[in-house]
């Protein structure tokens, strides 16, 4: 098996979410420079590693099929909702508990940092998108699934839905909409080189990354 075949298998550039033009909740609170380029319609410049995203998508799809088999009426899967220029695909909406559930694939090494503030903001934004589209929301939940662990290692964290947190995310996005120039690089070069489609070592069209 050659490297090109592996690259083709793990390529996520043509996935539905990667082709989504509107900024999504998962991007809010992350790298401002990356989202600014998204808003400017900067063309992808850099080829990125896709194995982690590929595995995450596969895990999502398997969970979604299992939930549909268990209770098709209770759980709404991959609900597409939009509000205030923000579009999201909610992993799961529990119509009984009125709960937003978002799956995250992580590693055992990073369990202690889960969930991050950005991940909390994301799931509260999903709650806002649902609420603005007529779905009552009481609780938000993040589920961290280690790719290198087992079910005993899964982390479940929940809290009441808080519109204030979601509004902070909308403000974060509005501020980027008004910027005329790119924010300073926020991620190190080593990360950007592997995972950002806008990495540009010369900084002519994209982002050169933050020097170490």
Q: Does residue 61 belong to any structural domain of this protein?
A: yes
Domains in the chain: how many in total?
1
Q: pLDDT digit of tens for each residue in the chain (212 aa)?
A: 555 555 565 566 665 444 456 799 999 999 999 999 999 999 999 989 888 888 888 888 998 888 888 777 899 999 999 998 899 999 999 999 999 999 999 999 999 999 999 999 999 999 999 999 999 999 999 999 999 999 999 999 999 999 999 999 999 999 999 999 999 999 999 999 999 999 999 888 999 999 87
Sign of CA dihedral 129, 134, 140, 146: negative
- pTM (2 d.p.): 0.87
Q: Does residue 112 belong to any structural domain of this protein?
A: yes
Write out the E strands in the chain. 75-83, 86-94, 99-106, 139-146, 155-160
Does residue 138 sit in helix, strand or coil? Answer: coil
Alpha helix positions (H), 29-162: 32-39, 51-70, 117-132
What CATH code is carried by the domain that includes residue 18?
3.90.320.10
């Amino acid at each position: 098996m050659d490297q090109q075949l592996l690259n083709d298998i793990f390529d996520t550039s043509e996935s539905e979410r990667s082709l989504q033009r509107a900024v999504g909740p998962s991007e809010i609170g992350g790298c401002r420079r990356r989202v600014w380029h998204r808003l400017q319609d900067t063309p992808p410049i850099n080829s990125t590693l896709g194995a982690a995203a590929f595995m995450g998508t596969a895990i999502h799809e398997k969970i979604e099929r299992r939930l549909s088999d268990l209770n098709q009426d209770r759980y709404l899967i991959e609900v597409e909702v939009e509000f205030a220029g923000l579009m999201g695909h909610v992993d799961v909406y529990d119509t009984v508990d009125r709960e937003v559930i978002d799956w995250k694939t992580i590693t055992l090494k990073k369990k202690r940092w889960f969930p991050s503030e950005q991940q909390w903001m994301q799931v509260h934004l999903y709650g806002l998108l649902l609420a603005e589209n007529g779905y009552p929301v009481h609780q938000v939940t993040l589920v961290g699934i280690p790719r290198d662990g087992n079910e005993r290692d899964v982390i479940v964290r929940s809290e009441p839905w808080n519109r204030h947190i979601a509004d902070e995310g909308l403000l974060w996005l509005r501020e980027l909409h008004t910027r005329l120039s790119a924010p300073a690089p926020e991620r190190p070069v080593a990360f950007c080189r592997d995972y950002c489609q806008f990495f540009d070592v010369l900084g002519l069209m994209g982002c050169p990354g933050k020097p170490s």
